[in-house]
Structure 1
Amino acid sequence: MKKTLTYCLLASIAVSFAACGNANKTDASAADSTGSSNEASSTTLNQLTNDPKGSPLHLYFNMNEVGQTDSSVIYDARSLYKNDTVGFKLEVLKNIDAGITAQNAPDNDLGFRVGSLRISSLGAVSDNFLKAVGDIYGLPAAGAMSSKTISPLVFSSNNEKVDLSKSKSYNFKLFFDQATGEPAEFFAVVDNYKKSFELSEKDSTFRQAFINALSGK
């Protein structure tokens, strides 16, 4: 119960992020947050981050749809770190309710859902991602990314239902569980126009927890 109440309080913080994100939603955009062209390329990958020393740190990925199930859309999320391709499989549910009410308040009943966004390993590419995160953070991150699907608690920071068939961007707040300690809090943007995915840490205090979540620890 205490954890649930904590999430509900954190949802109110996510509203300000959502208000900004929803104001910028469009079927067309001039440039993305990395400063690159708004047309995704199947051959040119974004750099994982344009500011490795940044805090909060922003991670960018090209997002390529590779399949669908009855309930979800599956993407390859990839980028470059130094000379390595890094990334993971990203699965996004098709039916994600709005988490922000018409009164611009968090909907704690409909807004939260475990596994609305899921991350899973692509093998060596994902192991490279874990190592890259550790390198950027200056923290040990040896070994492989977890072989299990990572299903964070997700708050939909949107004032409309997510429709992945539309060329729009959608904002989320993610809570990545680790074996012990508080979850790592991240913001995420799924942009179906720019074909990009963005992960941004709430602040640098969640870095070890994020590595633990990726490692399955």
Structure 2
Amino acid sequence: MRKSGPPRGLISYLVLELLEEKPRYGYEILKEITEISGGHWEPSYGSVYPILYKFEDEGWAERIEREDEPDRKYFELTDAGREHLAEKRTETGGKAREFADVILGFYHVYVAFATDDRFETGAPADEWCFDDTYSGWIVEQMVRHHERDFGEFERVPDTPEEFYGKHGGSWEPAGEGSDGAGRDGEDADGEGTDDGADGGDAGGTEAEGQASDD
């Protein structure tokens, strides 16, 4: 069970991969990440730019000048950055379960807003609302993407306990096990995530203080 926000280090990994492809500037990276997410998620300047500055400080990336765009801050991956990327690929490859927990966790909250009498989430007439219509649309999109990328979708009859037993780990509902995060966006060790939840100036000191690459 994941007890905080998006998997730690997600944006850092995406930035590394995008810089490995070619030199890029911050806004271009933001748009690329938005495209990768299917247009459903865009991190803030206050998450991407501090990561770029940290990469520069660590020697993983360096700024380059382009004669055709002298006013833009382009960053290029260094040899040390490629070595770091190799480590991050292995690290990120082990986070598939964390991704699943985030996706399922937010969907459960969505359904709770639609069905649990404790929540009164009224919506304006021209806005989406929490109900079975939109829940069905979300599930339909997941199935369509699965069939587009992996082939025909087949229902999985396993219970959570059975599935986890077959594929590693154990099913642990919320509230059972370790203490986990203290407050939203923090892991048990008190270090923040780089999920882009906070905004901030693109190049200012306030934004720089929010970055994390672990």
- Give the TM-score taking structure 1 as reference length: 0.24
Bigger Rg over Cα: 2
Greater share of residues in strand: 1
- Give the TM-score taking structure 2 as reference length: 0.24
Higher relative contact order (CA 8 A, sep 6+): 2
Greater share of residues in helix: 2
